[in-house]
């Protein structure tokens, strides 16, 4: 019985393969003389495939920030002169815009029966003095007791107090300026019936102005009492001011803090209620000036830069922007000297090894 040709071919091929394997001639790497790659060779091959980035050395330098805040001017002394008694206003002795001096008469109220009351209290005082003198004489002569004398002394003291009270009430009908300044609205008119606490006139002192502004919570910790501030108004005046008040708590709606800057205004050029801008120099601190393009976000959305060490290992360092300028961004949070990846940082991750092309320019600070 003959064997089919396909079977003969299969048997022959199997015998050939078996013979080749038994001969020990095994070709490695496509060549008979190929040798296994060493660890050093494999490392070189791996390094040849590293992602290439460009880095630059940055050194810290002192950075002084200047912030601008907007606000408006306000007269330091703007006093509403109020009545201390009730009465019909007889006359207003000043007009709006007039300059007045401390103690100058502004308004006069109808005295009513106040003068008569003063006269009555004066008569009562005279009687009390006579009674006290008589009691003194009787007590010396032995016809009056010391208790009687003390009683008359108490009546005399009461009469003096009642007269003083009546005189004060009469004086309250003449209302005077509490400070030097300029009369402005609101003010009362002759014939107005004024109650206790009503405004007779308003006196503003223009020689000292205050700028009121709001500072972001980001900077409020660096604002100090007594610090200088350059203030410019929209009307063209500039002044060197001084911070005299910093609010201890933030506005509940804006989360900003009120500050007050005292401004000299001896010539009265700065008006009340004018929009103004203040420049405040913050305390200097060590920071780095890096290109804005070097800033990036990590997977958690934190702002920072990617750095690379001498071994080419990538790290992410969170930073805080202090100021943006045309030259770049001043940031804090970096070590004194650092190699920042300036190109390719968006294509590498923390812990990755990269090939570094170092910018040969002098390290920036």
Q: According to the model, what pLDDT value does residue 294 have?
A: 94
Q: What is the pLDDT of residue 283?
A: 82
Predicted confidence band of residue 219 (pLDDT cuts 50, 70, 90): confident
> Domain 81-111+173-200 maps to which CATH number in 2.40.50.100, 3.40.50.410, 3.90.79.10, 3.40.50.300?
2.40.50.100
Q: What is the pLDDT of residue 227?
A: 93
- Tell me the C-alpha distance between 261 and 225, whole Å: 9
DSSP string, 85-102: S-EEEEEE---TT-EE-T
pLDDT for the residue numbered 39? 47
Specify the CATH number for 51-63+285-358; select among 3.40.50.300, 3.90.1150.10, 3.20.20.140, 2.40.420.20.
2.40.420.20
CB-facing half-sphere around the CA of 257: CA atoms within 13 A = 16
Percent of the chain whose pLDDT exceeds 70: 85
Is the confidence at residue 43, as pLDDT, over 70? no
Angle between helical axes of 114-141 and 146-171 (0-180°, round to 10): 160
Average pLDDT over residues 34-46: 52
Best CA proximity match to 119, nearest among 153, 156, 172, 170 = 170
Structural tokens at position 251: 């506005």
pTM metric for this prediction: 0.60
Q: CB under 8 Å to 79, separation ≥6 — which residues?
A: 178, 179, 181, 202, 203, 204
Output 267 or 307, whichever has higher pLDDT: 307
Alpha-carbon distances of 233 from 262, 266, 271, 277, rounded to whole Å = 14, 16, 9, 6
Q: What is the CATH number of domain 68-74+202-281?
A: 2.40.30.170
Spell 1-39 as b/e; 16+ CB within 10 A means b: eeeeeeeeeeeeeeeeeeeeeeeeeeeeeeeeeeeeeee
Is 317 a residue whose pLDDT tops 80? yes
Domain 114-171, classified CATH 1.10.287, yes or no: yes
Look at residue 172 and tell me whether its pLDDT is greater than 80.
yes
Domain boundaries, the chain: 51-63+285-358, 68-74+202-281, 81-111+173-200, 114-171
Q: Over 80: is that where the pLDDT of 45 sits? A: no
Tens of pLDDT, residue by residue over 343-360, are 999 999 999 999 999 886
Collapsing DSSP states into helix, strand and coil, what is residue 154?
A: helix
What is the C-alpha separation between 209 and 172, in angstroms, rounded? 30
Q: Do domains 51-63+285-358 and 68-74+202-281 have the same CATH topology?
A: no
Give the residue-averaged pLDDT of 18-46.
Answer: 54
How far apart (Å, rounded) are the C-alpha atoms in residues 165 and 41? 109
């Amino acid at each position: 019985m003959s064997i089919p040709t396909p079977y003969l071919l299969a048997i022959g091929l199997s015998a050939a393969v078996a013979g080749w394997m038994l001969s020990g001639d095994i070709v490695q790497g496509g060549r008979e003389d190929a040798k296994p790659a060493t660890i050093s060779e494999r490392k070189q091959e791996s390094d040849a495939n590293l992602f290439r980035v460009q880095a630059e050395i940055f050194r810290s330098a002192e950075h002084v920030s200047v912030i601008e805040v907007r606000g408006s001017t306000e007269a330091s002394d703007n006093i509403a002169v109020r009545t201390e008694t009730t009465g019909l206003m007889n006359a207003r002795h000043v007009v709006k815009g007039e300059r007045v001096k401390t103690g100058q008469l502004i308004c006069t109220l109808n005295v009513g029966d106040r003068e008569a009351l003063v006269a009555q209290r004066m008569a009562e005082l005279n009687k009390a003095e006579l009674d006290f003198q008589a009691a003194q004489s009787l007590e010396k002569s032995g016809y009056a007791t010391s208790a009687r004398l003390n009683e008359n002394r108490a009546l005399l003291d009461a009469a003096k107090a009642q007269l003083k009270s009546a005189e004060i009430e009469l004086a309250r009908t003449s209302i005077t300026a509490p400070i030097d300044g300029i009369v402005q609205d609101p003010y009362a008119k002759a014939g107005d019936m004024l109650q206790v606490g009503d405004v007779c006139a308003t006196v503003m002192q223009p020689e000292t102005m205050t700028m009121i502004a709001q500072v972001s919570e980001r900077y409020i910790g660096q604002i100090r009492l007594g610090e200088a501030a350059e203030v410019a108004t929209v009307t063209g005046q500039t002044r060197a001011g001084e911070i005299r008040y910093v609010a201890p708590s933030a506005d509940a709606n804006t989360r900003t803090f009120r500050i007050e800057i005292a401004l000299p205004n001896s010539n009265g050029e700065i008006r009340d209620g004018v929009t103004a801008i203040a420049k405040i120099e913050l305390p200097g601190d060590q920071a780095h000036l890096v290109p804005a393009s070097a800033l990036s976000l990590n997977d958690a959305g934190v702002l920072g830069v990617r750095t690379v060490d001498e071994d080419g290992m990538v790290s992410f360092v969170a930073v805080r922007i202090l100021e943006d300028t045309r030259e770049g961004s001043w940031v804090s949070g970096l070590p004194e000297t650092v190699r920042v990846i300036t190109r390719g940082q968006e294509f590498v991750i923390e812990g990755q090894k990269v090939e570094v092309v170092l910018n040969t320019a002098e390290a920036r600070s």
